[in-house]
Amino acid sequence: MSKQDGSSRQVTTGPVDDSATPILHVDMDAFFVSVELLRRPDLRGRPVLVGGTAGRGVVAAASYEARRFGVNSAMPMSVALQRCPNAIVLRGDYRRYTEYSERVMTIFRELTPLVEPLSIDEAFLDVSGARRLHGSPAEIAWTIRRRVRDETGLTCSVGVAASKYVAKVASSRAKPDGMLVVPASETTAFLHPLPVSALWGVGRVTEESLLKLGLRTVGDVAEMPEEALTRAVGPALAARLSRLAQGIDPRDVETRRVEKSIGHETTFHHDLVAYDEIARELLRLATDVGVRLRRAGMLARTVTLKLRYGDFTTVTRSRTLAEPTDVARRIYEEALVPLGDLVGDGRRVRLIGVRAEHLRPAGDGAPLWDPDEEWRDAERTIDEVVRRFGRGAVRPAALVRPAAESAAPTVRDAADEEPPPGPRSFW
């Protein structure tokens, strides 16, 4: 049995059939803010933001009180403070968040070995083999919420369903601090009234395409012939949306995370115009990407350059390599090729990013001819020097600035995860 309050929040409040719902999605509630409130309990109930205020700082997390003003994560802090002038802004503490994340993930793994972390504050769990020890899926979800609260002081929301997609939607409906079980037999009844934006993979552009077809709910998508949907969004996305709209998601909980891409991007304090300055930042980012590839034991077949201009127009350019690489110099040179056509003529650059994609394990066969062999050996040698003596032990002349220019030009270095220790660049 579930109930829905005056908002969109929906929670399970009584007995419910969870016999065929072994998948849990656990999502911490306003995680960064909640961790900060453990040491600032006087701020509970007030609008709190975590993030940077200098220059072009962004919101990393917002309390639910702040969200009522239309504030959300990734929003420029200047905009957030316009919408919510009374918000209290706190600097983030990533190391502390990581510590709490590890404590929460440990609780999950004590209940089932099948845990798939999605990020620092959420995970999928498969509890199909844990019934004998810990009870039914709903009972395990209840145990998780109780233990997280008792052992960390934090709250989480849990979705329980027959598939990963439905479990994730359920956890979002249960927020904050709730649990929602979607019985397998009620999957489509739960999904079909939801807006099309609830479908995984539907962003702003795809949502607009669906709305133009008159498709406003998940149920509308489920009833649309796949051929007609294909003409609007393409065959691959049409097939996926049709399946998801029926609640079909065959993905298993994967305990081993496989990197799909590795990248870094930087937003500048002030827009850059000069080609040399932009290229130098590209060099720094490519270096960090190369370091992470080698640490992960992965090779990339595609390099993607991303630029965002001062008017927020964003462009990307990708290049496929003849041979996959983990060499920063190769990543930089490939990303540099399209750069000349994208900058200059007074165009002001707000953000630059570089991403390595189409990854495969480094041990999956070696090319007959490796054009980057010497650079790879040099970079691995530098990796070892940095491991022993620390980040910054070696750096190229291209990234050494005079003292007068030594202030960092960026406010954010965003990546899939916290950048590992490593050299800034090697040449």
Q: Which two tokens stand for residue 147?
A: 């233990």
Cβ neighbors of 207 (< 8 A, separation 6 or more) are 196, 197
Q: What is the amino acid identity at position 207?
A: E
CA-to-CA dists, residue 293 to 232, 234, 278, 300, angstroms: 37, 32, 23, 8
| Annotation: binding site for Mg(2+) | 27, 121
Q: Would you give the DSSP letter of residue 416?
A: S
Q: Which of 36, 65, 122, 334 is catalytic?
A: 122
Query: What is the token pair recorded at 134?
Result: 């810990």
Number of Cβ within 10 Å of residue 67's Cβ equals: 15
- Using DSSP's 3-state secondary structure scheme, residue 25 falls into strand
Distance (Å) of CA 156 to CA 145, 249, 269: 6, 24, 35
Across the beta sheet with 156-161, the strand order is 115-119, 122-126, 23-28, 156-161, 179-181
Instruction: Give, for 374, the enclosing helix (H) or strand (E).
Output: helix 373-389
CB 180 within 8 A of CB 174: yes
Closest Cα partner for 301 from 326, 268, 336? Answer: 326
Joined tokens for residue 261: 């891409």
The DSSP output letter for 239 is H
Phi-psi region of 132 (alpha: psi -120 to 50; beta: other; left: phi over 0): alpha
Question: How would you classify residue 246: left for phi > 0, otherwise alpha for psi between -120 and 50, otherwise beta?
Answer: alpha
Binding region: 27, 121
Is 259 one of the annotated active-site residues of the chain? no
The three-state secondary structure class of 119 is: strand
Candidates 39, 38, 58; CA nearest to 410 is 58
Which residues is 220 bridged to in the sheet? none
CA atoms within 13 A on the CB side of 106: 8
Task: Specify the DSSP class assigned to residue 110.
Answer: H
Active site residues: 122
